[in-house]
């Protein structure tokens, strides 16, 4: 898919761009970038940034780069680089020939740092990380200048070059910007620009043993790529003065403009990369693509579509202040995307056997079932009916309450696409007392589409033929955390029932299902075939139930 997406709804960033274009700023160019750090898999919050950056570039006939800000070799890996590229492509975006890395510019950044030293705007500091933190001051008290702050440019240049040559131990020295230790913005109190690290880099190997800090590398990377609008999330707002200082210190032009927008926060969803990495590393989940994870790869495996995620990102909009979006909106978007696209089939998740005692023992009948009642163009499929079927265990009660309209002793219900049946007997396991089987009778004059019996029943049940149905593993997912909201400061509590595996029976038409194929299981929700599926063992993930919480929220608010 190309970058020709639907126009991004109007918002304050578009207003800034419109004004820039009106004034001829940046030669009337729009050039954005999506700059992930390759230290983990992307999550749904990153999808918002991807859609925004690529969407703006498309709408204004501009360009958008994919750039990896790979400045910390300790946490970065080629696996993350490859997964990020896969996610961006899957969402429908193309960076064409504009794939870049901050590591592409290591030599330019180093040369720029030497220029800062020669201009008296950077110095080598021998304080430890703890000493730097301690002398940095507080929000109400200014910091204390490093005793090494007034070294000569010649001494600083010599020490910096020796840092690059590997003469000093990790943590023994850093390069700091010389700005203002009394600045009300903590980020401007002589921030660290370079640190020593002997870790091998995934692209440059051991060529470098000093690495630029993110706040130094990011504005320079933007400038080297001629980015016009550097769009970041709101937590970088306090870093913008340093972004501008870095480029202004040596009068670097043209100067990209950093613009901040609110990050995506979802109810009952943690999107801290630290916490997501911990879930993977401790084995709390099966990997970055576990369908319970809010990662793009996890959502893809669960069965979410790129169209649904792009629709979600459009609907939540772009704001300047932080807020929390109800995850019900994301679920609404996938329902809206799939409801007219996918076939509706029958799957019994918790089977209870029903024997229709007055149906011929070897009898098999072919019925006609709609593939999607809301989309008649999807046609029909054959459906086998036989003497023994399975229904949902929850669709039967021996002593039902007043408004229970499903099966009960002596009560009649309709089987979808088939006949009206009546429960005549309940068979129990002699040892446990558990109900193991129901004996029912059917009325042959009540076949769906041909019923002239005049009978009226309130309940209609889905079912699967015991002879023709196929076994399947069904995985039902709930929120990964019990807490209602994201908690950055505390460890959230995992939900022990976030995944439930069931031995189900499904229609025979699902026998040749391929990984990623979507279906609606009547009454249960939307499902997708998991990569764990193999011949003779199909695994379905429930993407979302049919209950539309978001629609109810909207109705209540209207």
Q: DSSP states of 295-349 as a string? A: BHHHHHHHT--HHHHHHHHHHH---SS---B-HHHHHHHHHHHHTTTS-EE-EES
Backbone conformation region of residue 547, classed left if phi is above 0, alpha if psi is from -120 to 50, else beta: beta
Of the candidates 421, 369, 367, the one whose C-alpha atom is nearest the C-alpha of residue 391 is: 421
Which pair of tokens denotes residue 411?
Answer: 């009560």
CB-CB contact of 521 with 476 (8 Å): no
User: Catalytic residue positions?
Assistant: 37, 263, 273
CA-to-CA distance for 331 and 544, rounded, in angstroms?
6
Which pair of tokens denotes residue 236?
Answer: 């970088």
Phi, psi of 106 (to 5 degrees): -55, -45
**C-alpha of 133 from chain center:** 35
Residue 46: DSSP 8-state: H
Dihedral, CA of residue 230, residue 232, residue 234 and residue 235, to nearest 10? -110
Which pair of tokens denotes residue 40?
Answer: 């983990």
CA-to-CA distance for 408 and 329, rounded, in angstroms?
37
CA-to-CA distance for 275 and 171, rounded, in angstroms?
26
CB-CB contact of 57 with 30 (8 Å): yes
CA atoms in the 13 A half-sphere facing the CB of 263: 16
CA-to-CA distance for 220 and 207, rounded, in angstroms?
20
Rg (CA), the chain: 31
CA-to-CA distance for 345 and 513, rounded, in angstroms?
12
Q: DSSP states of 394-425 as a string? A: GGB-SS--TT--SB-BT-EEEETTS-EEEEEE
Q: At what angle do helices 44-59 and 78-90 cross, to 10 degrees?
A: 60
DSSP bridge partners of 349: none
**Cis before 254 (ω within 30):** yes
CA-to-CA distance for 442 and 235, rounded, in angstroms?
65
CA-to-CA distance for 457 and 415, rounded, in angstroms?
11
SS3 content of the chain, % helix, strand, coil (to 5): 30, 25, 45
CB-CB contact of 50 with 79 (8 Å): no
């Amino acid at each position: 898919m190309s970058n020709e997406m639907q126009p991004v709804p109007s918002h304050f960033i578009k207003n800034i761009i419109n004004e820039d274009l009106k004034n001829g700023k940046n030669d009337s160019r729009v050039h954005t970038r999506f700059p992930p750090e390759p230290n983990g898999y992307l999550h749904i919050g990153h999808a918002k940034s991807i859609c925004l950056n690529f969407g703006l570039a498309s709408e204004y006939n501009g360009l958008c780069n994919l750039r990896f800000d790979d400045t910390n070799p300790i946490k970065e890996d080629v696996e993350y680089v490859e997964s990020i590229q896969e996610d961006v492509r899957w969402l429908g975006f193309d960076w064409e020939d504009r794939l870049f890395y901050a590591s592409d510019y290591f030599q330019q950044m180093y040369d720029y740092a030497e220029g800062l030293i020669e201009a008296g705007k950077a110095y080598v500091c021998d304080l430890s990380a703890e000493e730097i933190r301690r002398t940095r001051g507080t929000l109400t008290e200014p910091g204390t200048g490093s005793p090494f702050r007034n070294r000569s440019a010649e001494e600083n240049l010599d020490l910096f070059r020796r840092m690059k040559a590997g003469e000093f131990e990790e943590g023994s020295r850093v390069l700091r910007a010389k700005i203002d230790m009394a600045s009300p913005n903590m980020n401007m109190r002589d921030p660290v620009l370079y640190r020593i690290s002997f870790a091998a880099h995934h692209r440059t190997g051991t060529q470098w043993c000093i690495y630029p800090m993110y706040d130094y590398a990011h504005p320079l990377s933007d400038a080297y790529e001629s980015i016009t609008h550097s769009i970041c999330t709101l937590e970088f707002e306090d870093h913008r003065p340093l972004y501008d200082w870095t480029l202004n210190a040596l009068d670097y032009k043209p100067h990209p403009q950093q613009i901040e927008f609110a990050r995506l926060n979802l109810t009952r969803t943690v999107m801290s990369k630290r916490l997501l990495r911990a879930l993977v590393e401790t084995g709390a989940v099966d990997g970055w693509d576990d369908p319970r994870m809010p990662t793009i790869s996890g959502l893809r495996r669960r069965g979410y579509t790129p169209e649904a995620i792009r629709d979600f990102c459009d609907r939540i909009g772009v704001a300047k202040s932080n807020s929390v979006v109800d995850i019900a909106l994301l679920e609404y978007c996938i329902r809206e995307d799939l409801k007219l696209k996918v076939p509706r089939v029958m799957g019994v998740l918790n089977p209870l056997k029903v024997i229709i005692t007055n149906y011929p023992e070897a009898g098999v009948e072919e019925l006609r079932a709609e593939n999607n009642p809301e989309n008649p163009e999807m046609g029909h499929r054959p459906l086998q009916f036989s003497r023994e079927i399975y229904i949902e265990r929850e669709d039967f009660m021996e002593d039902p309450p007043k408004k229970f309209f499903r099966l009960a002793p002596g009560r009649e219900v309709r089987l979808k696409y088939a006949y009206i049946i009546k429960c005549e007997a309940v068979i129990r396991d002699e040892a446990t007392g558990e109900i193991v089987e129901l004996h029912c009778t059917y009325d042959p004059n009540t076949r769906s589409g041909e019923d002239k019996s005049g009978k009226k029943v309130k309940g209609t049940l889905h079912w699967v033929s015991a002879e023709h149905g196929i076994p399947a593993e069904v995985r039902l997912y709930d929120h990964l955390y019990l807490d209602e909201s994201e908690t950055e400061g505390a460890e959230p509590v995992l939900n022990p029932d976030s995944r439930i595996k069931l031995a189900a029976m499904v229609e025979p038409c699902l026998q040749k299902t391929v990984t990623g194929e979507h279906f609606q299981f009547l009454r249960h929700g939307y499902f997708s075939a998991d990569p764990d599926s193999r011949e003779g063992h199909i695994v379905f993930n429930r993407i979302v139930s049919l209950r539309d919480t978001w629609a109810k929220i909207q109705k209540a608010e209207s």
